[in-house]
Every structure is written in C-alpha cells, then in structure tokens.
Structure 1
Amino acid sequence: MYLLDEHLWFPNPKLANEDGLLAVGGDLTAGRLLLAYQNGIFPWFSEGEPLLWWSPDLRMVLFPENLHISKSMKQLLKQNKFRVTYNQDFKSVISACAEQPRRGQEGTWITSDMIDAYLNLHDLGHAISVEVYSEHSLVGGLYGIYLKEKRIFCGESMFTRQSNASKYGFIKLVQQLAKEGVKLIDCQMHTAHLASLGAEEIPRETFLKYLNDK
C-alpha cells in the first residue's frame, strides 16, 4: 500500500494488494481524480476514513455490444415508461445516490467532500449524470466519469426510487454511448445487478490495455 502526498502521482495499479487497494491519502482535486481514472484507479472510502484508492483484479466491465435487455425491460422501453435526460440535475442525482440504502452497507462512501469533488468535475465537463423521471418526479439516475479521449465511461453509482428506473436509465445511457463510439463501460466491482445487464469480469491487465489503447 502506498502513501500519497501533495504531489500529483499514483503508483502502478498492478501494485495493488489482493483486495485491490493501491494507495492511501492524497486529495480529491480534479487533477488527481482524472489521473486516477485515466490509470484504472478509483476512490472508495467511508466517512471518517482516509482517502483509499483502488484498482481491483478482476474488473467488472460492460462492452456495449453485450448489453442484455430482458423482455420486461424491452416492454418498458417500448412504452417509453420513463423520461430520460442527461446532465440536467447532477447534484440531485449524486445526492440521491449518497442516500440510497444498500444491502450490507452502513452509511455511504459518497461523502460531502466526494459530492463537492464530483460536482467540480461535472462543471469541468468530465462527470455526467443521467436523470430518470416519472412524470415530473426524479425516480432514478446514475453518474460517472466520461473519458471521451479513451472512449470509456466509468460508472460510479446509481439510485432508484421506483422499480426498474435506474436500470432503464443505464440501458438508455449505454445505447447513447454506443452511438458515440464508447468501447467499454467500467463498472468497477461485480454485482448481480450489473451481471444481469451483460457486464462481465476481465483481468485488470486487460482493462488497462483498453485504457491505454486509444
């Protein structure tokens, strides 16, 4: 495990321990966060903990062409069940993600400092949000980092207040990103929910090759 200081750097992600933990410390400035994502590293820590930086092996990813849409979701899409917008209310989306109850997890890793840092990235054009509405109510959404030059989207978190809302927004985003030539969606860690949508685990080394291959 490496200790970061005020200098802008990260160790080689291949040096992470078996759990994927690479480094501790540093800060949440835009420059450091972008450097992290560009090198396959992301922050993940709880309130009261030091900043923890991760690069797990295996890495959960979704190739847009492998997106799986269930029959029930196809019906909802056909019915235009929800209205989806992009980058219209980033703050509400990330705040709702912070408040989303998660099984086996107390509190949230999306601290107030994290919210401020990603709002800054959004203002700089690097972080994007997806808003899902039922009539005029925000019922789901997600946000992440869009590495346009690398054609990779790094998903961070999603929330739902109505059944299938976040999944609906995620599908719409993947379809939109596919049109823009995105080659890979970084989902970071394995979940059954992401696997049901077609995401899979690949070796960290393979993921890093995608990051470095423009």
Structure 2
Amino acid sequence: MLTWLQRDSLDFPPLEKALREPEGLLAAGGDLSAARLVAAYRHGCFPWFAEGQPLLWWSPDPRTVLFPNEFHLSRSLAKLLRQQRLRVTFDRDFAAVIQGCAAPRQYADGTWITTAMRDAYLELHRLGHAHSVEVWDGEQLVGGLYGLAMGRLFFGESMFSRVDNASKIGFATLVGKLREWGFVLIDCQMPTSHLHSFGARPIARSEFASYLRQYLDQPSEADWRT
C-alpha cells in the first residue's frame, strides 16, 4: 500500500516498502521544502512527477549508479575534450542550467521539472546542496547539468544540450572533478543507454543504501567554484 506523507513530518517509509508496480514508487504527498528534499536524498529516494500529479517519491531497485573510477571515456569524447572548443564551469549560472533542463525536448511531450521543482532546487542551490555544470561556446550557454552533492556522493538530476556533445563534455568534466575530490558514487537514478555508455550500471537498492550510510557524512574535497 502506498504511503502518504504528512506535511508536519519529514519521515519516509523504509526503502523496502517501495512498490513493485510501478517499480520503485515509495510514497506520495508532502512538499518540496528544502528540509524534505534533503531528507529524501539522505533516505535514498527522489521526487519525480508530472504537472497535475501529486508529489511522488521513488526508490527503484535496482538503482543505476556510476562509480567515478569506472567512467568510460570514448576516444571521440576524449578528442573533443582535448580540443577545448567548449568551456566548462561550475556553479556559475544554476538558474540557467535548470531552465535549460526544463525546456521542451524533441523526444518528449513535456517536462517533469515543473515550476515548483525549479524553485525548490534553486533554494537547494542557495543553501549549498545543489550544484550546476555549465558548458559554454564563447559567452553562450550550450549545455549543462545539475544535481546534489552530499558527503562523497553526487546525486545527478538532469542534463541538456543545445549543440552536439555539450552535455557529454560537461558530464565527463564533472566526473573527472568528482574523482579528484574523492567522491565514490554518482547516483544516476534510472537506466538509459546514454548513461550506460559512460559506464553506469545497476546495483541493488540495499547496496545503494549501504553507500548512503557509509559516505553521506564523510567530507569531500569539493570546490564548486573552480
């Protein structure tokens, strides 16, 4: 039975209570306050819902993750990085990145990044939890991605490209920095062929939970204004 969250409590049900159909649906309701979102990621779930739906919280099993040391850098992408035609920055324009991620896609009818979601993650960025990667062609933003950093874990949320390979260049640069900063895992949430091409793979939800327990409160060497 689906658990409905109470607005006066930040508690989530145990991850093993997530439904099998639809796979990984853990709870509904609550709100998008910064405190609840932080509690959700620390617990092992994330919000994902469409306009007009109630708030839905998910914890799929298996969970798609990427270990930075297992990142696969293709020859073609390595060549693009060496050419340095596009410039990559961190936390320079979070609002523009999430707006880019929320924009309509050719392959989708809508977006799950609602106005309420944008506002919530902007607040998380203001509080230092959410971070952005920007990819620039000159002074024009042509791609990027955003997510949350907690301890030595990075929780990826969404990416976008306005020119070929922009998000790939941004992601590859991010993975390199996370590896340098001592991060041990990137949460990719759900499987895609795009992520698998980078080396992402599924792990059991119980194993994912063990990474949360071990690394959420370990300090990293991150410097997001590099």
Tell me the TM-score normalised to structure 1 length. 0.97
Structure 1: state its 5+ residue gaps: none
Shift of 1:81: 2.3
Tell me what 2:219 maps to: none
| 1:81 aligns to 2:85 (yes or no) | yes
**Match of 2:118?**
115
Instruction: Give the Cα separation in 2 of the matches to 1:81 and 1:52.
Output: 40
Aligned residue number for residue 224 of structure 2: none
Kept in 1, the 8 Å contact 2:63–2:208? The answer is yes
- SS of the equivalent of 2:159 reads strand
In structure 2, the residue matched to 1:181 is 182
User: Contact between 2:104 and 2:110, CA under 8 Å: does it hold in 1?
Assistant: no
> Per the alignment, do residues 102 and 49 of structure 1 end up closer, same or farther by CA in structure 2, a change over 3 Å counting?
farther
Aligned to 2:96: 92
Q: Which residue of 2 aligns with 1:15?
A: 17
What residue in structure 2 maps to residue 208 of structure 1?
209
CA RMSD of aligned residues (A): 0.8
Q: 2:220: which partner in 1?
A: none
CA distance in 2 between partners of 1:183 and 1:20 (Å): 23
Within-5 A mapping of 1:37-48: 37-48=41-52
Distance 1:58 1:102 in 2: 28
Moved over 3 A (4+): none
Aligned twin of 2:133: 130
Q: Which residue of structure 2 aligns with residue 196 of structure 1? A: 197
Alignment gaps of 5+ in structure 2: 216-226
Q: What is residue 61 of structure 1 aligned with on the other side?
A: 65
- 3-state SS of the aligned residue for 1:213? helix
Query: % of aligned pairs identical?
Result: 55
